[in-house]
Amino acid sequence: MIPRIQYPQFKTNLVANKVLLLSGPRHVGKQTMVLKAIEELQVEYIEFNASEKKIVKLFEEPTLASLTTLFTNAPFVIIYEAQYILKLQDIIERVLSGEINSTLVLCCSYQPVMDEVLREVLQLQGLELNLLPPSFYELAQHFSLPEEEKNLEQRLIYGNYPEVVTNLPEAETTLVNLLQEVIFTNLGVTDRINKSDKLFKALQTIAFNIGEPLSYNEIGEKCGIDNETVERYVDLLERSDILLRIPTYFNEHRYELKKSHVFYFVDNGIRNALIRNFNPIDLRNDVDQLWRNWLISERIKWNKLNNKAVAYKFWRTHTKQTMDFIEFAEDKIHAYKTSWEKKKKMKFPAMFIELYPTISTHTLNRSTYWSFLTKK
């Protein structure tokens, strides 16, 4: 198992609490983390996989009697893909009230049907952990920093999913298979996806335009779907930890883009699987886009791992002056431009410097990225 920063907190919470929620895309290591903790604690448990219809049927009417029978007084109950259980809230409430004397561990690859107040309580108490593909820091801890730097180009192409980084020779096959499962079975049970081919085409459109302002209308025109459907698909994919949506930063100044978004993927490998391009770096014309996607997704992961409350924006004008990434943390604002080339001299937009003189500006290239990815 690749050591995860959240593991000690998860194990501590497992001992001290009645309900834990572990969210994140499929195949990022949720089951591995749970079973490792259970094994180390040497406790009895029972597990269910709610991606199976017969298991979901068992939880259709979660009465005290039925749950007592199902859980068999096991100290720990693990439910994988718990988002498929429509009356999950009833089960949680029976456990929290003490009617069921078990600790409930819920693994969800999509947001479950749950009262927002209860969800907020779990989040505030640190009882919901969001597990994403391993971060650069976690991989460097596992494989060593020199090894990760040597594998940097591979990460830009194949991403960070555990099955990929531990078996690079099979990365392409793994990612193509992951793409189908992660995207098309990762959405909520109550959400309609009438035409999966349209969803796939929308994602491809985004994949070919990562880091570029892209309107819902532009995506819809290319895919033959209306703006409302595009927005719903994007929202679903963002909540299922596939996409990152970053809004524009503007203050009503002339030429600034307004109400625009850029999109990135949580994992580079999924993006490249969508466009079926696993060519090496020296044969690609999208290296800067890959670099930017990887840097921004890794930074967002790092901030989540460290429980930082951060907002993200990008800045662009109609004359195409750009700041790729702006991070708002407490009273500090940092703006970044990215470049794969180490020696390329970067110029910051004169208009941005003039309009926002108090925002610190930085360059991110292969010589400067490490401090960016680990800065608290």
pLDDT in tens, 274-328: 999 999 999 999 999 999 999 999 999 999 998 888 999 999 999 999 999 999 9
Residue 70 lies in a domain: yes
Domain identity same for 151 and 232: yes
Q: Give the residue from 82, 108, 130 where a domain finishes.
A: 130
Query: What does the DSSP 8-state code read for residue 208?
Result: T
Domain identity same for 118 and 156: no
Residue 110 lies in a domain: yes
Domain identity same for 125 and 142: no
Q: Is 137 helix (H, G, I), strand (E, B) or coil?
A: helix
Domain identity same for 67 and 90: yes
Given pLDDT bands bounded at 50, 70 and 90, which one contains residue 195?
A: low
Domain identity same for 226 and 363: yes
Q: Encode 283-302: b = buried (16+ Cβ within 10 Å), e = exposed.
A: ebebbbbbbbbbbbbbbbbb
Q: Residue 85, exposed/middle/buried by CB under 10 A (0-12, 13-18, 19+)?
A: buried
Q: Is the dihedral of CA 234, 235, 241, 245 positive or negative?
A: positive
Given pLDDT bands bounded at 50, 70 and 90, which one contains residue 103?
A: very high
How many structural domains are present in the chain?
2
Q: Mind listing the pLDDT tens digit for each residue in 325-374?
A: 999 988 899 999 999 988 778 889 999 999 999 999 999 999 889 889 98
Domain identity same for 140 and 119: no
Domain identity same for 83 and 145: no
Is residue 47's pLDDT more than 50?
yes
DSSP string, 264-310: EES-HHHHHHHTT----GGG-S-HHHHHHHHHHHHHHHHHHHTT--E
Is residue 39's pLDDT more than 60?
yes
Is residue 191's pLDDT more than 70?
no
Q: Give the residue from 130, 151, 175 where a domain finishes.
A: 130
Given pLDDT bands bounded at 50, 70 and 90, which one contains residue 193?
A: low
Residue 190 lies in a domain: yes
Q: Is 180 helix (H, G, I), strand (E, B) or coil?
A: helix
Domain identity same for 323 and 353: yes
Residue 1 lies in a domain: no
Token pair belonging to 74: 């096991």
CATH of the domain at 54: 3.40.50.300
State which H helix or E strand residue 120 sits in: helix 116-124
In the predicted model, what is the mean pLDDT of the chain? 90
Residue 302 lies in a domain: yes
Domain identity same for 285 and 152: yes
Residue 2 lies in a domain: no
Structural domain of residue 318, as residue ranges? 136-374
Is residue 188's pLDDT more than 50?
no
Q: Is 315 helix (H, G, I), strand (E, B) or coil?
A: strand
Position 229 scores a pLDDT of 87
More confident position, 186 or 157: 157
Residue 158 lies in a domain: yes
Q: Give the residue from 130, 155, 178 where a domain finishes.
A: 130
CATH of the domain at 235: 1.10.10.10
> In this structure, are strands 332-338 and 322-329 parallel, antiparallel, or unpaired?
antiparallel
- Cα(119)–Cα(125) distance, integer angstroms: 10
Given pLDDT bands bounded at 50, 70 and 90, which one contains residue 146?
A: very high
Domain identity same for 225 and 295: yes
Cα 195 from chain centroid (whole Å):
24
Length of the chain: 376
AA identity, residue 230 = V
Domain identity same for 328 and 302: yes
Domain identity same for 367 and 295: yes
